[in-house]
Amino acid sequence: MTKRLLIVDGDRNFVKSVAYELNKEDYSIFALYEGKNTVRELGNQHYDLVVIDSSLPDGSGISLCKEIRKEYKMPIIIISEDSNIMSEIIALEAGADYYIVKPFKSEELKTKMKVIFRRMEYADGTKKDENLEIGDFKLNTIGRTVELHGYEISLTAKEFDLFYILITNPGQIFSREDLLKRVWGDDYFGDGRTIDVHIRRIRRKLLKVVDEDIYIETKWGEGYYFRI
């Protein structure tokens, strides 16, 4: 099935170039050149992925990412000319799934997108059961939803994949490097702070339902594990 992508970037030549390359892969590309109508557009049309420039003519792409995350779960890729690691962490904290530094080759973007779509359907190379009940949680792997005590936990694509690996392997300690490889793929060049950011976001969301941080445990010097 053809994937629908929304690109939000003020550089029309850049958008035209990216669209040309992605159309070769049978993606349907739609573009906005300012951020102000993005959330409304996402409410009117279905998109499988959103690509946002961190610096838009009418504001911050990071702020737009946060705004989108209040309502939508689709994957988001932030692109930026800023190669500072703290800028990447801020983007991930805002809800982005990937952060790509300009200039980049179209193959890098294509690869990231393929990883995202593959991970949305498969975890660790194995197709997931649709409905799972594990401890206090109910998961639907097709809709990519998580419920805790009847309350839905709104997770992004990467948060869901990370959570799925941990909860389906209770008690098993995963190093940051292992989780990066499983969730982001071998081509990702980030470091363990990427995992820390996503774990922190997941914990924060769980704490909106329960009063204690009792599910995802840290094994100091080794990694993370799930306790049921």
Give dist(CA 222, CA 193) in Å, integer.
14
Q: Given a cut of 50, is residue 112 above it in pLDDT?
A: yes
In which element (H, E) is residue 165 found? helix 157-167
Beta strands in the chain (DSSP E): 4-8, 28-32, 49-53, 55-56, 59-60, 76-80, 98-101, 122-123, 126-127, 131-134, 137-140, 145-148, 151-153, 216-219, 223-226
| Structure confidence by residue, pLDDT tens digits, 202-220 | 999 999 999 888 899 999 8
Q: Would you state the CATH architecture of domain 4-121?
A: 3-Layer(aba) Sandwich (3.40)
Q: Which among 9-18, 103-112, 123-132, 184-193 has the top mean pLDDT?
A: 9-18
Q: Is the pTM of this model over 0.85?
A: no
CA distance 158 to 30: 23
CATH topology of domain 124-226: Arc Repressor Mutant, subunit A (1.10.10)
CA distance 67 to 63: 6
Q: Indicate the pLDDT class of residue 124, thresholds 50, 70 and 90.
A: very low
Strand ordering across the sheet containing 151-153: 131-134, 137-140, 145-148, 151-153
The domain ranges of the chain are 4-121, 124-226
In tens, the pLDDT along 63-87 reads: 999 999 989 888 999 999 998 989 9
Whole-angstrom distance, CA of residue 110 vs CA of residue 95: 20
